[in-house]
Amino acid sequence: MAKIDDRKTKIQATKLRKVFKERRHEVVAVEDLDIDIKEGEFSVIVGPSGCGKSTFLYMIAGFEKITDGELLLDGEPVLKPGRNRGFVFQEFALYPWKTVKGNIRMPLEIGGGISEEKIDAKVQEYINLVGLEGFENAYPHTLSGGMKQRVGLARALVYDPDILLLDEPFGSLDAQTRKIMQQELTRIWQEVTSHGEKKTVVFITHSVIEAVYLADRVFVMSARPGHIKAIIDVPIPRPRSYTGDEFIQIRQEVLNHLEEEVLKAAELYKGELSAE
Amino acid sequence: MKKDSNIENTVEPSKEVIKDTSANGNGSRLLDGLNSAPKYFLNVGKTLLPFLVIFIFFEVLLVILHATIPDLSHNLYPIPHNIIVYTWKAFFPGKDSAANSVFIQVGWSFVRVLLGFVIGTLSGLIIGILMGLSKWLHRLLNPIFSLAISIPTLAWVPILLIIFGLNTKTIIVTIVLSCFFPIVYSTTNGIRSIDRKLIWAARIMGASNLEIFFDVLLPGSLVSVITGLRLAIGYSWRAIVGAEMLVALTDNIGIGYYIVGGQIANQIPQVIIGIFLIALGGLLLDATLMRPLELVTIRRWGMIEKSKQ
């Protein structure tokens, strides 16, 4: 594996800014955000609640328009959502009227140009990949949270996007399931490649342990208006454990950067409450 | 990668774990009720019990009344069991009777309701979908529809009578109106309240607007649309009685006319039968149209809670 700094830039933001216009005032969600995410990198962004990390992810996805600055994927500005990206939502955002198979088929049906048999084969491949054999015809409401997110992952990967965006995907799962899903995501990320390269992953969380367990690099975001405050390399080989000196040391480093911002965010929040 | 033995609190992502977390698996909810037939009859019994109590109460009350006041009119103060006898005659008047069977009266009302319902629902869906899709149209029309939905349909009838006259057209247009407004309202809201993340998920797959409409917006708004359909059926079944009563004198047919007929003939049993038939008709429409539709869609998909028996 090449060192991260030598690799090609996949996602690049320069002086990125996002302002939400509310009825009476403006909220600056993201300001002066510079980031350089490399091809095939597993990047995790941590930050205090409301720091604009999800907003940043929505801008990469093309769901939200940028207000100012520059946001490039493969050197091209992001104009709208598209199939070079896959997105996994915290609330799963599965279609309740489609079965597991139906949800995972949908991107392939929309893409068109492939035969039914090829679609079926591909869907089965990804159902197996995420470990949902036997649940093909189940409706999402009969599944547990962890299984729903497996469907979410398969749906985001099945059309082979280069970039996988995950917005606190395990945030609503219980601690035990969460750990399983972290291991599963690591396994899947290592198994699935496009053009021989691993997927470029941007993963949002506010769990520091999760960040250090998953990431090649952890990006710490500041309190609102959000920008990148610190970048921490995680050179621990995979498969990782949640213990070990190196893990704990890196976790502490991330925590130190984050703590300050969490306090700032709390101040900001208090200020807003008293202003109202 | 499989398992790392020095991971302390790590759980092997085995299939057992996955299966454990989904106790009710992918079993069909439709079949849940079938293995509890005795329970079903018990429930039916529980539902019918209050009616039996009321029946016996009035039976006893009226028998006593008739015994103490000898010349009390049986037409105005019917003994409940006589109503049942009367019901039989109402349904099967016999060849020598000039009266129409109640079957025909109710049947005509059903036909009118269905015709008005289809027209009102289709037009309501079209307007509702357009309003759900276009912010501009919503801003323009929503205040009008918000106002219109609180107008009882029968309030329109005088206008309709002036335009269409005392005939079936007026009745059907009344039904159309009673369906139209709730359908517009529920369809608009159904589309507008769809989780934007469901739309985003389709967008990032590269879905076109048309694909989003058919794959996301239509099924996603179904919970609200079905609520609207239910309201529409309820409203139209109510409205037809009123409309038929008003048009009754020239039209001579329909459940509303049958009730007014009972009033004119001083026959309270006839009115009571009419009232019961309205209730049964409403139940029947719901059970034959709306329940099956719900069962194969939003209930199956878990979009609404399974109702408690």
- The domain total for chain A is 1
In this prediction, residue A132 has a pLDDT band, given cuts at 50, 70 and 90, of: very high
pLDDT of residue A274: 59
Most confident of B21-30, B172-181, B259-268: B172-181
pLDDT, one tens digit per residue, over B65-114 is 998 988 888 888 888 888 888 887 777 777 666 566 788 888 889 999 99
What are the tokens at A202?
């941007």
Mutate to test the interface with A, among B2, B18, B301 (most CBs of A within 10 A): B18
User: Is residue A121 a part of any domain in this protein?
Assistant: no
- Which domains, ranges and CATH numbers included, belong to chain B? 106-296 (1.10.3720.10)
pLDDT of residue B178: 93
Q: Calculate what percentage of chain A has a pLDDT beyond 70.
A: 96
CATH code of A74's domain? 3.40.50.300
Read off the pLDDT of each residue in B205-212 and give the average, rounded to a whole number.
Answer: 95
Measured CA distances, A102 to A98, A258, B18, B168 (Å): 5, 40, 20, 47
Question: How far away is chain B from the Cα of A204, in angstroms, using its nearest Cα?
Answer: 16
| Stronger pLDDT, B140 or B98, i.e. the higher one | B140
B26 contacts A96? CB cut-off 8 A: no
A141 contacts B297? CB cut-off 8 A: no
For chain B, what is the radius of gyration of the CA atoms? 27
User: Is residue A171 a part of any domain in this protein?
Assistant: no
pLDDT of residue A86: 96
pLDDT of residue A272: 65
User: Is residue A63 a part of any domain in this protein?
Assistant: yes
Instruction: Evaluate if residue B20 carries a pLDDT over 80.
Output: no
3-state helix, strand, coil in chain A (%, to 5): 40, 25, 35
Question: Which residues in chain B (213-232) have CB-CB distances under 8 A to chain A?
Answer: 215-216, 219-220, 222
Closest alpha carbon to A60 in A166, A149, A133, A194: A166
Read off the pLDDT of each residue in B211-224 and give the average, rounded to a whole number.
Answer: 95
In this prediction, residue A72 has a pLDDT band, given cuts at 50, 70 and 90, of: very high
User: Is residue A174 a part of any domain in this protein?
Assistant: no
User: Is residue A194 a part of any domain in this protein?
Assistant: no
The angle subtended at Cα A91 by Cα A88 and Cα A92, nearest 5°, is 45
Closest alpha carbon to B259 in B182, B286, B267, B170: B267
Question: How far away is chain A from the Cα of B35, in angstroms, using its nearest Cα?
Answer: 20
> Mapping DSSP to helix (H, G, I), strand (E, B) and coil, where does residue A88 land?
strand
Number of Cβ within 10 Å of residue B307's Cβ equals 7
| CA A133/CA B147 separation, integer angstroms | 52
| CA B32/CA A275 separation, integer angstroms | 54
| CA A45/CA A203 separation, integer angstroms | 6
Contact B171, B255 (CB under 8 A): no
The whole-chain average pLDDT of chain A stands at 91
Residue B69, C-beta contacts closer than 8 angstroms, at least 6 positions apart? none
The whole-chain average pLDDT of chain B stands at 82
pTM: 0.82
Mutate to test the interface with A, among B14, B205, B214, B222 (most CBs of A within 10 A): B205
Q: Calculate what percentage of chain A has a pLDDT beyond 90.
A: 78
Side-chain half-sphere exposure of A232, counting CA atoms within 13 A: 28
A236: containing domain:
4-84+200-275
Considering all CA atoms of chain A, what is the largest pairwise distance in Å, rounded to the nearest integer? 61
Residues of chain B with C-beta less than 8 angstroms from the C-beta of A141? 301-303
CA A132 from chain center: how many Å? 21
Read off the pLDDT of each residue in B173-184 and give the average, rounded to a whole number.
Answer: 94
| CA B170/CA B159 separation, integer angstroms | 9
User: Is residue A26 a part of any domain in this protein?
Assistant: yes
CA B34 from chain center: how many Å? 24
In this structure, of A216-225, A238-247, B3-12, the range with the lowest mean pLDDT score is B3-12
pLDDT of residue B7: 39
pLDDT, one tens digit per residue, over A20-40 is 988 888 889 999 999 999 999
> Mapping DSSP to helix (H, G, I), strand (E, B) and coil, where does residue B9 land?
coil
B250 membership: H or E segment, kind and range: helix B222-251
Contact A51, A224 (CB under 8 A): yes
In this prediction, residue B35 has a pLDDT band, given cuts at 50, 70 and 90, of: low
Instruction: Evaluate if residue B265 carries a pLDDT over 80.
Output: yes
Residues of chain B with C-beta less than 8 angstroms from the C-beta of A241? 4, 6-8, 10
